[in-house]
Amino acid sequence: MDIAAVNLMSYEHFLDIFGNIIEKCPLITGAVWSKRPYSSIAELESCVCEFIDFLPSSGKEGILRCHPDLAGRELASGTLTEESQQEQSHAGLISLTSTEQDRMTLLNSQYKNKFGFPFVICAKMAYKTKIMSELSSRILNDPSQELQNGIEEVKKICHLRVQDIFFKNSKLPTKL
Amino acid sequence: MDIAAVNLMSYEHFLDIFGNIIEKCPLITGAVWSKRPYSSIAELESCVCEFIDFLPSSGKEGILRCHPDLAGRELASGTLTEESQQEQSHAGLISLTSTEQDRMTLLNSQYKNKFGFPFVICAKMAYKTKIMSELSSRILNDPSQELQNGIEEVKKICHLRVQDIFFKNSKLPTKL
């Protein structure tokens, strides 16, 4: 799969492939289909970022609220999306000690009470110890800064998910 | 449940209850949680409509693209959301004759080819014969008119889904 193949996709095929590059927000995938043809994969990602940046604060908060807690109820109940399951697993969040789990649950709860959205971090770029120290640190920020931080992490997650989709399909473009 | 109870909900509880009032767009539900407290159920719906109206055309198209075809592949494969399943069933779309099914498939396909999004209609307010005549007629519109028509139908669907949620919970407010 290369960008030319992506440009030829029907919106239904495009949603089947890219529908969860922003967690549980196929609206955004559906929106950027309108921007084809893309000259590159980077341009596809840029369209996603531009769409997100255009949203009012409530919309950005809405995106964060579609994200699961890290090491939270969805992980425990097996109801994470496939992508989130992989990411949380990669970060070591499926094998927390009971002390770590208690601390994570407490911090998640405090974070959500303060900001009204969950702590979002690109779990594939961090390990559980780093994630917990980031959570302890970011919880001290003010809400507008933390909204911006969360959205920047969403964009990193999107980038890795897009890369992953292209890697999974054998005919790799020369540049990602 | 009344509006006071809704105003007290965490964003997670709110998403559990109202997450699909716009088909597969929990982003929008998550966004309007920021607008609480609501003075009425109507105000909750107004916040949803305002959010949708604020979106660029690509975003409105994105919302439509999250909707399934009527009498399409998701109905056949049993993968509709619970709400869509009820609505399509109510409209008689699960018991089409083979001639009706062929016509529906053809019209859906022609509509999507022309507009790049699926035909959306509030199926609970129409029966299959009315739906097919509307589809035959709306397919003749220009794209901007049809985008607007589709979004107006999305708002009607949202209104009925919200009503349904309140009806299902026994303590009905006096005014919907």
- Please tell me which residue of chain A has the smallest CA distance to B16: A66
**Pairwise CA distance, residues A56 & A62, whole Å:** 10
Q: Which of B145, B141, B148 is nearest to B60 (CA)?
A: B148
Q: Is B110 within 8 Å of B139 (Cβ atoms)?
A: yes
Q: Compute the nearest-CA separation of A28 from chain B (Å).
A: 6
> Which tokens is B77 given?
């494969």
Q: Report the pLDDT value the prediction gives residue B171, as an integer from 0 to 100.
A: 52
Kindly determine whether residue A59 and residue B51, on different chains, have CB atoms separated by under 8 Å: yes
Chain A environment of B56 (Cβ under 8 Å): 31, 51, 54
Q: Report the pLDDT value the prediction gives residue A125, as an integer from 0 to 100.
A: 86
Res A9 pLDDT > 70: yes
Burial letters B88-118, b for 16+ CB under 10 A, else e? beebbbeebeeebeebbeebbeebbeebbbb
Measured N-to-C along each axis, helices B98-115 and B128-138 cross at an angle, to the nearest 10 degrees, of 30
Kindly determine whether residue B30 and residue A65, on different chains, have CB atoms separated by under 8 Å: yes
Per-residue pLDDT of chain B (176 residues; tens, 9 = 90+): 899 999 999 999 999 999 999 999 999 999 999 999 999 999 999 999 999 999 999 999 999 999 999 999 999 999 999 999 999 999 999 889 999 999 999 999 999 999 999 999 998 888 999 999 999 999 999 999 999 999 999 999 999 999 999 988 855 455 44
Chain A environment of B143 (Cβ under 8 Å): none
Q: Is the peptide bond before B37 cis (omega within 30 degrees of 0)?
A: yes
pTM: 0.94
Res A112 pLDDT > 60: yes
Positions of A marked catalytic: 67
Between B127 and A142, residue with greater pLDDT: A142
Count chain A–chain B contacts defined by CB atoms under 8 A: 103
> Which tokens is A17 given?
């492939």
Res A39 pLDDT > 70: yes
> Which tokens is A85 given?
């399951």
